Structures are given as C-alpha cells and as structure tokens.
Structure 1
Amino acid sequence: MKIRVLLPLLAALAGAMNAQSGDIHEARRAFKAAVKAKSERERLAGVEALVACGDARGLDDLVVALLKVRKDLDKLESRIVKTGKKTGQAFKNVDKQGDAGRPVSVGSYNSAAKKAQKALKELQKLHRLKDALESWRAALLSGGGRLLDSIPKGDSAKAIHDQVSKLERAREHTEKILRLHLIAASKSDGAREALLGLAAREEDGEVRTAVIDAMGSRRDPRDVGALARALEDGVWPVRVTAARALGGIQSLTTIPPLIAALERGDGRFLEEVIAALEGHAGITFHDNATLWKAWWKDQGASLASILDGLTSDDQFERLRAIQAVGEKAFLLGARRLLDEAGLDPNSDENAKDAEPKGEPDADARAVMAASGEAVGRVLSTVAHHSRDQQLNDLLIRPMEKEAKVARRAKFIPFIGHVRTKHARSILIALAGAAPIRNPAGGQPYDKDDRAKLTLAAVKAIGGQGHPEVVPPLREALTGFESSEELRLAAAASLLALRLSDSVGPLITGLNNKGKVHTACQEALVDLTGENFGDYPSWRDWWTKNRKGFKPRRARAVAKDDKPQEERGGTRFYGINSRSKHVVFILDRSGSMEEADAKGEGKKIDVAKAELKKAIISLPKGATFNIIFYNSAWDMWRKKMTVVDAASRKKAIKWVDSIEHRGFTNIFDPLERAFQLAGRGTHDKAYGVLLDTIFFLSDGLANRGRIIAPTEILKQIERMNQLKKVKIHTIGIGKNHDPRLMKGLADLTGGVYVAR
C-alpha cells in the first residue's frame, strides 16, 4: 500500500481507537480527515470513529458532511443532465431524417454514433461518481442512526429533540428532509416518538409524506393510530403513503381504520386502501365498505385466534393454526409464517444471518412442511387480480434481492407450493440452466451456485401438479451434465406430480445406473402398478398403454382459473386502475409496425385500440394526457386535460393520427410525465395532478439523455420519492427489456405485463 494512502488510514483508525475511550475531539479530527480521503475504507473508518465515541456532538459533523454531499450531488446532477442531453443531440439530425422517411448516409450515422459514444463514456464516469456519493451519504445516515442509538438514553432523547428543533427551524427543504432521515435512521423509541410528533405538527406536505414513509418502514404496530389519522390528511401523497404503511404492518389493528377509509376514499387513495385490506385478508370485497365491515365482524376474532396459535408452544395447536391460515387464505397469517421461517423481506441483515445451525428436529420439520403448504394454498387462492402481485411481494422479489445462494434457496420450496402459472414460470426458469445474476454485483452466479438453485427448484417443482413442469424435470433426469443428486431429485418430483406425462421420462431414466435407476424403477411401479425389470420391457409396455393411461392416485391437474375483471376504474392491457389522474405513454418506434404476438394485427394498431378503449373508460371529471415517443416524443396537451365527451373525441382523433417510425427513447417521456405531476419535487401546492402512468414499450432504450436501464431506474426512484406516482408497464414482444419494465413497476407499486 502506498504511504500516502496508508498514513490517512492509520490516522483514521487511530482516531477510532481514541474515540472508543471517549475522546470526542480526537474522533472529530479523525472524521474531518476521513471526509477528505478518497478511499471508501478511510471514510468509513472516520464514521466509525464518531459512532464509537457515543457523543451527540458528533451529529453536527455528520450533518455538515451530509449537507455537503447533497450540494455535490446537485452539482453532479446538473453535469449529468447536460452530458445526457449531448447523447440525444448527437443523433438529432440523423433521427429527424429517418423519421421523415429520408435515407441516412453511413457517414452521417457513424459521425453521430461517435459523438454519442463520447458523451456516453463521460456519462458513465459521472454516474460512477454519483454512485460513490450516494454510497457515502448512506454510510453517513447509517452512522448517524447508530450514533443516536449508542448515546446514553437521557442524552439520546436530548440529541433527537435537538435534531427535531433544527429540522423545524430549517429554511431549506433539503435540510429538513436530511435531518428527518437522520432521525429515522435511529431504531430507538425516542426516534419513534419524534416521528409521531412531526407527523402531528409538520405543516409541509412533502415533509409529512417523508415522515409517514419513515414510520411505515419501521412497521411498528404501535404507530397504527398515527397512521390512521394520516389517512384523513389533506395532502393525497400523505394519505397514499399512510395506506401503504398500514398495509405493511403485520397487525389486525390496521383493518378497522382501513375499512373506515373506504367510505371517504376515491381514485388512487381508494386503490391503495383496498390493496392494503386485501394484503391482510386474502379476499376482497372491492370498495364495498358494508361487506368489509360484515366480514370483519364475523371473522375478526377468529383471525386473531389464528395469529395467537401461530406462536403457541403447543405443537398441535400451532399446526392447527397453520392449517387454518391455508384454509382461510389468510394472507396476514401467511406473512407471519414467512417471518417465522426467516424470510421476512424487511428483516435487517443481522437478523437474516442469525439462523439456527444444525439439522432441524422432527417438530421443526413438521412446522416447516405445514407452513409451506399453508403459504402455497394462500397464494394459490387469494383474490385473482392480486394473486401474482402477492407472490411477487412475498416471495419472488425478496428472493431476487438476496445475494447469498443459501438464502435464495430457502424461498424456493415455498414457491413450489404455489400452484399458479406465474409460480410455475419462475420454477421452470430456476430449474433450467440460464444464468441468474447476483444482485450484489450484477454478475451471473458461478456454476456451483447456479447448480444449487437448480437443485432447489427441481426438488420443489413436483408440487405443481402440471404437465408444463415435466420438460425441465426430464432434462434434469436425463441431461448429460446432471449430477446424481439432481437426477434423484428429478425422479422424486416426477413421481410427486402423479401425471401420465411423468412415465416417459422415468422410463428414459432407467438408462441410468445405481441409485438413479432404482429411483426411476420404484417411481414407475408406484405410478403404474406394473413391475418390469428393464428398460426395453418398460418401453414396450408404455408404447402399448400410453393412450388413455391414468396413473395410480393421480392428482388433479392444476388449472389456471380465468381472471375476473375488477369493478370500476380504467383498464389498459388487462391492468385495472381506479386513478382519476392518468398519463398514457406509448411506444411508436419503427418496431411497432411488426405483428402483435397474439396475431391481432400490428403492435401499434393493437396499442391504439387498447388506448382508445381506456380513454373511453376514463371516469367523467378525471384528468388525463397522452405521450407517444420514438427517438423524441409528442404530447397531446401541454397540461392534464379534464375528461368529457369532447376531450375523449379529440384524444382519439389525435391517437389515430400518430405514425410509427424511429428509435426508442424511454427516459425522456417518463421524465416529462413526472413534470406533469406538479411544479417539481418542491411543489408547495403538492396537489393531485398526476398519480398513475401506463407505460408501453416494445424495445430497448437507445435514445434519450439516460439510456442505461439501471440509471433510468435510479432516476425514477429519486423523482418519485415523494410524488408517489404508480407506473404500470406493458412490455410488447420478445425484444422489450423485461428487467427495466418490471423494475419500473416494482419501484412504484405498479403492475408489469409481458405480452
């Protein structure tokens, strides 16, 4: 290590050691030196110096550093915007010629591409700097929270009170939000009480939204009363955030205030209240408050008893409660079972890592098996319109966020018990050989780790009871590179399916030797009631008896019931929304000329037809707008327009006039739509101008000031932090970007549909 790097590091570490003995002055000096260091390790050592000291005066240093980071990020963002525009400008003339139907010379295109590439390289460099600054900001906030928690109780309460006072006196909106995040980073009761006070006193709607967000992230049942009051707030993002927060708290005490909110809610707020209720109950009465009240009166005590039973020391009582969770399709109970299994997506990393070692005993195995069946039954039978969403929220997304393969693999048996098409598609993908990316670094898992996920999926997939899962099991059983363990798991799952489709692969599996041959032989005897000694005999028997064969103890094939349309609202490509403030953003690039996957005509024509139906279904008095994009974008009206007969007619006429050509600029039209949501992030009015976007694309981003999917997602997340706009995404054809489209929906609470 170079001496110029080593000396600051040693100084910072020495500061941390001195801080541990209570020297705040040494700790502050160490932190001041660390702030100027370039190495992440040196900077983190400086933060730890302040935390280890446990002195509230260190908070001032952290706040100063955080404010500087905020200014640096603002300056950097200006450079990113300026550089991003260069990428779009590089192709401006070329795209203009192409959009007009005029030929573009190779030389012109190459010249434009060269300019764009230069700007993209600069943009990548700036984004790396931004990532580093945001990582540093996260470390400072985390350090501030831990420092508040390490201060003696009396001093901690005073320190939090001081931060609240400074927040309320702050003139700059940025400083208010920063100090709020610092308070929220603490896990102490003092921080909780501070948030409750701010929720009651704060006059700024955006700050109140951020406060409710922070309270929601704590998921504390003690906060239900304050969150219930926030459901009546005059600012709609506060109400929406409160409804989501109540939906995230695993307590039946959230249900009465949510039911009460049904009677005064409409639009997006009503949509969020219904979603929160469905997320607890597992059933739906849509917006019918009378039926919800009757259900709660009839079932409330029974559901509370089930939750009590889940924590009983009596094994029989506990198993009976687990069974009741499945029988009642009780989603809140299913969430509790996942928590008990250590699969709570909101647990901190320390809780996740603190797992019992060694093999579970018989009682633990019985509980785990019953829990898997109960969770699977719940997620297979909950309200159809939210079924895939609940599976995504409880199992798929948490699994995909896990970097550790062992942690990922724990979700797979639960998915195996969910008998839906969406669950099957996930399991089939996991059971295959396609690369799976590690979220920690974005690189695919190595061969050994990928094999562990394949094995877990092959073991779990037998619970699906559907012929669609037979091909991956056949490949696992007979594939050239399959391990013995994988082959044995495949044979067991083929037997568990109890389908006639399993017989052929099991007969082929007899070509294996040893344990695998024996497993296939025993499975065939179990399924057929026959007993032949070798492969040729089984093959000949199957040739004669395949037609009309029914296996012994055959399971009913899992059927995909047809979705029932939700009552009320606007519908676009099967996605229903109750919003009264909607923007439709549709792709009109050249590739939309191609045939629709369902054979209903050209993609652009199908999209226009769907859009016109959605426009007609918009409720009178709602507001809407339309954006079509290719390399550039066109917006129907400069502002949101009120729905009436005349505006519907004009909008449909404009839609019919749109032509398809050009490339795909995804970010810029999304950014423009967000501008319709208000006067920007610091909009004092903070009223409802836009709360829902339907976004359709059939390709990859290749134009605009931001092209990289990861950066598009980061920017949308930043813009939407307090706006709470929901983005529903529709990916058309095999060439759209599923990671981006799914990411946009996941970030904002929307629905992603691949067509």
Structure 2
Amino acid sequence: QELDREIAPLDRAWGIEASTRGAILDAIGMVIASLDETGQRERTDDLIQLFEKTRKDEDKRLYLDILGHVPTTHSVAALLGVVSHDTNPEMRVFALEGLARIGDPRGAEGARIALDDEYWQVRSAAVVALNRFGDVAAIPALIARLKTEDGRLSGDIVDALSSMTGITRKDNVVLWERWWTENEESFRATLKEVDSDNVVERDNGLDHMKEHGYLLAARRALEKRGLSLGAVRNEERQRPTIETEDPEDENAEAPGGALAGGFKADEQEADALEFAVGQAIGSREAAIRERAFELMVSEPLKRSRDAEKRAALLRIAGYTGTKEASEFLVAFMDKASRRPWRDLDRIAALHGMGFCAQDEQINTIVTLFSSPHVDKDLLLTAVQAMGRVESKESTRGLIRALGELSSRRDKSEWAGVMKAIGDQLRRTTNQKHADDFAVWSDWWSTNGDNFKTPKELVAAEAKPGEEGAPQDPSGTSFYGIETYSKRIAFVLDVSGSMNEEVDYAGTRRTKIAVAKEELLKAIASLPKDAWFNIVFYSSDYRLWQKQLVQASAEVKGEAREWV
C-alpha cells in the first residue's frame, strides 16, 4: 500500500502526459485529413521521408505514430509499406499498431501477411490488429496459426478469435476448425444481413446476432450507427449511416414512409439495434463478455464527445442485463459531471439501469430524489427505471422516492414526477392511492412483506411446460400460435357475439373473457425488444396506442390495465 501511494502521483502524471500526447497526435491527424487529396499525399510523403532519413528509433516511432493518427488512404498505404519492407521488427510493430488505430479494412491484408513474420512480436501485433479490424477472413487464418504458436501468442490468438466469434474453444485447434466448418455459412450470412441496406434483412441479422452471440456482427452493427471505437475516434468527420430524417420523404405516413404504420421507423430500428447488441454481449461467458464490453462500450464511451452516441452506448450497457453493467452505470452516473453531457449521460445511464439494476443499487437511484441538483427529466427517467426493474425493492424505492419529494418545501414544482410515481405504483401494485405518500407508506407497512410483483405472479402462474407459459424467451404465443416476430399487432373482435359462452379450461366462460385472458398471457410473454400494439374492433375500432411501443415492463403493465 505504501508503494502504491508513492507510485500514484507518477501514474497520474504519466496518464496526463499520455492523454496530452494522444490529443496532440489526434489534432495533427485531423489537420492532415482535412486537406485536399494533394495536400494529404504531400504531407504523408513528408512524414515518410523524415522516417527514412532519421537514424534515431525514437524519431522513427514518432513519425509512425503520427501516420497512425491520420485516417487517410495515403497513410494506410505508407504504413503497409513499412509492414512489408522495413527491416526493423520494432518499426513493423509500430506500423501495425497505427493501421489498427486507423481501422481501414485495407490494412487487414497487411496484418494477415504479418502473421508469418519471423519475429513473434510482429506476429502478436498482427493478431491484435486483425482483432481490431474485425476481418472475417482472419478467422480461418488465426485458427491455422494457432497450430504453430504457443505461450503468450497462442493466448493472443484465442482472445482475438473469441472477441470476433463470441465463443471460446481455448487453444484446441480441432474444436476451432470444427466450429468454423459448422458455423462459417451462418456467420458470414449474419454479417451480410447486418450490413444490408434492406431493413428486413438488417432485422434478421440482428436476430441471428443476438441468438448466436456473434460479436463481430455486433461490432459491424455499431459501425453502421457510428458507435464503434474507430467511428468515435473520427466522429467529427463521420456522417451517420442511418439518417434520422429524410427531407425528401414528403408523405412520411404513406406505405414505405418513415412514419408508415404510425411509428418512427428509424427510432425503432435504432432501439432494436442497441438492444440486440447489448443482449449479444450479455449472453457471452464472463471473460469474453468483459472484453467485449470494454471494446464495444467503455472504450468508445471514454472517447466520444457526441452526446447522442454516448447515450446510445450507455443504453447498450444496460441492455446487457448484467450485474457488472449495473455497477458500471452506477459509477458512470456518479462521474457524469462534465458539461454539456452531464444530464444526458445521467439520463441515459438511468435508462440503462432499468434493464440491469440489482436490488442493492435501488438506493442509489432513490438518493437522486433528495438531491437539489436534479431536473424533472432525470427524475422521470429514474421512475421509469425502477418501474422496469419491477422487484419488491424497486417498488419500495418508488414509495421512498415519493416520500422524498413530498417532504420538499417546493413539492408543488415536482407534481408531475409525483404523479408519475403514483401511476407506476398503481401499475405495479394494482392499488389506487395516487401520489399520497402517507397512504402508500401505510399500505407498504401492511402488505410489503407478502407483496408480489406482476412479473413474479406471471412466473408463478405460467411455469415451463404448462398451457399458456412462454416456451421461449424470445418468442410470443397467442391462442397457441407461436411467433418470433418483433413487431406485433394484437387484433381482437369485441362485438356482441363475443359475449357468447364457450367451454374453456373446464368452465363456461364468455368468448371475450377468454380472449382477454389469452391476450394478457401473450403480453406477458413478449420479449423486451418486441414492439406491439392492440386493436379492438366491432362496428368501429379502438387503438390502444397511436404507434407501436416497445415491450418494457412498464409498458406491458399499461397494456394489461387497458385490456
């Protein structure tokens, strides 16, 4: 501990120096990349000439480092030349690191060639670079290389393979070859679907990615949204691939328009992508999940200055549904103090916590309601987060939050938040005490010990194998009809004929009572990434919502109440 205390100031100083150096190199790279084609080529040629003329290794490393921060075709070509022809293995390593930092796919071929380098340090740098590139052609090349490597380099190869495939076969080459033979077609098809410009194909790709945990597909999906590590490094020069508005879409609500069917297609697709990526990461075993989380969430989050991208990454963290993610989000929410992102960061972190928070972290959320430095949007998000957790502790947390606001001198200013808490408690408990803290407190004192949430009641009633139980967490059953669609409209006849009695489960019930019971079971079985609506019709029709809505615990509670 004494040694740690002595080293800590030096460690901080080194971190500041490294951060400053990186910022300067990023700035140089940005300036060169902003030049026209001729200017880029001339400045790159200048750096290569300086590299070739100097005899000092320190200066050579500096020039390669600068090139590695210039995201242009000229710098990629220059670095590939060093990898292929420079006689100094240390310089080949630096060139590979620069190529990996830029992330241009054209650098992957040079990295694959470097797998056969005579120096293990160069081969190791090539493995790391190929992992960063996310080059699918590297998978069989790395498996083949695993046959001849051992020790640390063997471990690097296994890490790279696991990072791309989402699985591990340790250093067993036979098992890796068998897995690739059995899964290559599916793996490549998923990558193609995720990269597709067709929304249906992209949706299929996200489903396959989530089902199989293909982490390379998750990385590709993030690249398409401009959320990958390489994208946030260059985000000031990035153009979003998925447009949020189409200025030429004059009739957005017509078939094929951005609002066809009454919902914002781009927002729905973005939400589905974030959820699928989070679920793919969260479904992997601990060691792979930890590395994937660092590469796809925490590293881009550290670098990004774009508030919307940071919010998306924080939501993805929550969608992993893991305890580690909840701890990460709690810590991040505490640190989110730098403007202009502070409030947006905290709101996004709270949103994510609704999908992964543990009971012991509810107290952290509740403390926000006693803080003088919060706004209404933040507290409304906190209410939604505790509602999504839907546990006994989160229900108690909502009552405590209501108590905190009720005790404020300016509580009238928080009436909207207090109403939201009362509404959420009503959905969770089926009790109608509005936002009266005293009544809720008394009710909890009497009923809290034996209270069960709707989620717990559904789980107790619909056990696996029994009629009406959801057989697959990603599918939905309605009247025995199984569907794995993520966009569902439930359409029910509520005309007078539905009041006729029928035999159902050994009793006589009206058709409408049976239909409602089946509908409630179907709603309970909806996965979180499904979007749905309900339509009742007789001589006319009634819509539950004006557009499709995502099947969060809170929304499903509202749907149950409406039915």
TM-score w.r.t. the length of structure 1 is 0.50
Deviations 1:79-130 (A, max 9, x none): xxxxxxxxxxxxxxxxxxx99xxxxxxxxxxxxxxxx9xxx9xxx9x99999
Cross-structure match for 1:251: 135
Show the counterpart of 1:423. Answer: 325
Secondary structure at the aligned position of 1:530 is classed as coil
CA deviations on 1:42-94 (whole Å, 9 max, x unpaired) are xxxxxxxxxxxxxxxxxxxxxxxxxxxxxxxxxxxxxxxxxxxxxxxxxxxxx
Structure 2 vs 1, CA of residues 146 and 483 (structure 1 numbering), >3 Å: closer, same or farther?
Answer: closer
* Distance apart, 1:220 and its partner CA: 2.9
| Rounded Cα–Cα distance in structure 2 between residues aligned with 1:290 and 1:372 | 34
Q: 1:266 to 1:540 in 2, by over 3 A?
A: same
Instruction: Write the distance in 1 (CA, Å) between the matches of 2:357 and 2:22.
Output: 47
Matches within 5 A, 1:683-694: none
| Equivalent-residue separation in structure 2 for 1:398 and 1:311 (angstroms) | 20
Aligned match of 1:522? 423
Q: Give the 3 Å change call, closer, same or farther, for CA 165–131 of structure 1 in structure 2.
A: closer
- 2:37 partner amino acid: S
Change in CA separation of 1:526 and 1:336 when aligned onto 2, cut-off 3 Å? same
Mapping 1:214-233, distance limit 5 Å:
214-233=98-117
CA distance in 1, matches of 2:447, 2:225: 44
Alignment pair present for 1:204 and 2:97? no
Q: What is the aligned partner in structure 2 of residue 312 from structure 1?
A: 196
Give the match for residue 262 of structure 1.
Answer: 146
Q: Work out the CA distance in 2 between the residues paired with 1:389 and 1:291.
A: 22
Query: Is 1:274 paired with 2:158?
Result: yes
Residue 367 of structure 1: aligned partner: 269
Q: Distance in 1 between matches of 2:219 and 2:96?
A: 22
5+ residue gaps in structure 2? 247-257, 407-413, 460-563
CA contact (8 A) 2:131 2:160 kept: yes
Residue of 499, 504, 521 corresponding to 2:396: 504
1:470 aligns with 2:362: yes
What is the one-letter code of the residue matched to 1:402? S
What per-residue deviation string (whole Å, max 9, x for no partner) do you get for residues 285-332 of structure 1? 111111111111111111111111123333232222112211111111
By how many angstroms is 1:245 displaced?
0.2
The DSSP-based 3-state class of the residue aligned with 1:414 is: helix
Aligned residue type for 2:237: A
CA contact (8 A) 2:226 2:240 kept: no
Q: Is it true that 1:537 corresponds to 2:439 in the alignment?
A: yes
Q: How does 1:88-167 map to 2 (within 5 A)?
A: 150-151=37-38, 156=41, 167=51
**1:350 aligned onto 2:236:** yes
**Residue in 1 aligned with 2:521?**
none
Q: Is residue 380–residue 420 contact of structure 1 (8 Å, CA) maintained in 2?
A: yes
Gaps of 5+ in 1: 1-97, 100-115, 437-443, 557-755
Cα distance in structure 1, aligned partners of 2:453 and 2:17: 62
Q: Does 1:453 align with 2:340?
A: no
Q: Amino acid of the residue matched to residue 495 of structure 1?
A: G
How far did 1:540 drift?
2.6
Larger Rg: 1
Q: Report matched runs for 1:14-29 at 5 Å.
A: none
Tell me, yes or no, if the aligned pair for 2:213 and 2:280 is still in contact at 8 Å: yes
Could you tell me which of 171, 183, 193 is aligned with 1:299? 183
Q: 1:337 aligns with which of 218, 221, 245?
A: 221
Q: Matched residues in 1 for 2:286 and 2:349: separation?
A: 24
Maintained 8 Å contact 2:68/2:97: no
1:378 Cα deviation after fit: 1.7
- The equivalent of 1:393 in structure 2 is 295
Preserved contact between residue 509 and residue 516 of structure 1 (Cα < 8 Å): no
User: Cα distance, 1:418 vs. partner?
Assistant: 1.8
What CA distance in whole angstroms lies between the structure 2 residues aligned with 1:311 and 1:418? 22
CA deviation after TM superposition for structure 1 residue 176, in Å: 4.0
Matched residue of 1:346: which SS? helix
Secondary structure of 2:229's match? coil
CA distance in 2: counterparts of 1:487 and 1:235, whole angstroms:
57
In 2, the alpha carbon distance for the partners of 1:481 and 1:169 equals: 58
Tell me how far apart the structure 2 counterparts of residues 406 and 526 of structure 1 sit (CA, whole Å): 30
CA distance, structure 1, for counterparts of residue 398 and residue 293 of structure 2: 31
Equivalent position amino acid for 2:415 in 1: G
How far is the alpha carbon of 1:221 from its aligned partner?
A: 2.8
What's the counterpart of residue 581 of structure 1? none
Q: Residue in 1 aligned with 2:455? A: 553
Alpha-carbon distance change, 526 to 383 in structure 1, aligned in 2, over 3 angstroms: same
**Distance change >3 Å, CA 189–CA 293, structure 1 → 2:** same
Alignment CA distance shift 1:274-1:324 (3 Å): same
- The size of the alignment, in residue pairs, is 425
Q: State the alpha-carbon separation in 1 of the partners of residues 391 and 432 from structure 2.
A: 18
Distance 1:191 1:322 in 2: 34
3-state DSSP class of the match of 2:455? coil
Q: Cα distance 1:257–1:463, how it changes in 2: closer, same or farther (>3 A)?
A: same
Question: Is the CA contact 2:283–2:320 (under 8 Å) kept in the aligned structure 1?
Answer: no
In structure 2, the CA distance between the partners of 1:317 and 1:162, relative to structure 1 (3 Å rule), is closer
Deviation at 1:451, TM superposition (A): 3.3
User: Equivalent residue of 1:234, what SS?
Assistant: coil
Q: Between 357-366 and 222-231, report the one with greater CA deviation.
A: 357-366
Assess if the C-alpha contact under 8 Å between 1:477 and 1:491 holds in 2: no
Q: Per-residue deviation at 1:544?
A: 2.1
1:389/1:136 Cα in 2 relative to 1: closer, same or farther (>3 Å)? closer
What amino acid maps onto 2:209 in structure 1? Answer: V
* SS at 1:252 equivalent: coil
Q: Does 1:414 align with 2:319?
A: no
Offset at 1:142? Answer: 6.0
- Please state how far the C-alpha of 1:263 moved relative to its aligned partner: 1.0
Letter in 1 for 2:286: H
Please tell me whether the aligned partners of residues 144 and 186 of structure 1 are also in contact (alpha carbons under 8 angstroms). Answer: yes
Secondary structure of the structure 1 residue equivalent to 2:168? coil
Distance 1:172 1:130, change over 3 A: same
2:282/2:289 contact within 8 Å kept:
yes
Partner of 2:501: none
Contact 1:477–1:488 under 8 Å retained in 2: no
Q: 1:215 to 1:357 in 2, by over 3 A?
A: same
User: Any conservation in 2 of the 1:338–1:344 contact (CA below 8 Å)?
Assistant: yes
RMSD over equivalenced CA pairs, Å: 3.8
Aligned residue type for 1:476: L
Sort the Cα spacing of 1:263 and 1:506 in 2 relative to 1 into closer, same or farther, 3 A: same
Q: 1:136 to 1:396 in 2, by over 3 A?
A: closer
- The alignment status of 1:284 with 2:168, answered yes or no, reads yes
Q: Which amino acid aligns with 1:457?
A: A
Tell me: CA distance 1:182–1:484, structure 2 relative to 1, closer, same or farther (3 Å): closer
Distance 1:282 1:466, change over 3 A: same
